[in-house]
Amino acid sequence: MDLQSITNELKVRKEELESRNERTHKHTYQKEQPVSPNFNEQVKETENDALVMALEAEGVEELAQVNTALKRIEDGDYLNCAACGEDIGEERLHAIPYTDHCIKCAS
Ligand SMILES: [Zn+2]
């Protein structure tokens, strides 16, 4: 298991998520433009806001998972399932680098 390359992958993902979360957060909470006076435009903006907020929630959650994985690598727990302590398995970690459960405990 090449932990170094997984660590690098996770760090890249972390940076991506952090900058994306910053953008979505700004979009949601620091509106520069006043709400459009046109009703149709308002509806579109509201829909867009909902999408961006969903995206942010998703990003925040994924970032938390990535951080947990990085911490687990640091602590030397990365390869073992958080529930049963068995090997998670290289194949599974490649597919889902931030999982902390083996396939048995995840299902
Ligand atoms: Zn397990």
Global pTM reads 0.78
For ligand 1, the distance from its centroid to the CA atom of residue 58, given in whole angstroms, is 25
pLDDT one-digit tens code per residue, 46-74:
888 889 999 999 999 999 999 999 999 99
Ligand 1 centroid, distance to 82 Cα (angstroms): 7
Contact 67/97 with Cβ under 8 angstroms?
no
Centroid of ligand 1 to alpha carbon of 97 (angstroms) = 15
User: What pLDDT shows up at residue 81?
Assistant: 97
For residue range 16-50, what is the model confidence (pLDDT) as tens digits?
A: 999 999 999 888 777 666 667 788 888 888 888 88
In angstroms, the Cα distances linking 91 to 5, 64, 88 are: 14, 22, 9
